[in-house]
Amino acid sequence: MKKILLFGADGQVGWELQRALALLGEVIVSSPFAGDANRADFTRPESLEALVQRIDPEIIVNAAATARCDALTPSGPASRSK
């Protein structure tokens, strides 16, 4: 059975992917809201590397997304309000 790491499991796409990927193997879910060891923080890339190394998946699926992309960029509207 393949080990599959799914980022963004709490979103709409991630939720559906959990169900579909379960047919292919063991799905290990990760999200920024998880309070456990599988918490994914895309603002800290080193934490993602450690998570991937610890889980050692055969497949990685990234369904992580944000609805406010402009808030993540230094030139976005969120940065101009300061």
Does residue 67 have a pLDDT over 80? Answer: no
Which comes out higher in pLDDT, residue 80 or 20?
Answer: 20
Give the pLDDT of residue 70.
64
Give the pLDDT of residue 80.
52
Which comes out higher in pLDDT, residue 36 or 25?
Answer: 25
Per-residue pLDDT reduced to its tens digit, 36-58: 678 888 888 888 888 999 999 99
Q: What is the CATH number of domain 2-80?
A: 3.40.50.720
The pTM of this model reads 0.75
Contact indicator for 60, 7 with CB cutoff of 8 Å? yes
Q: Where are the domains of the chain?
A: 2-80
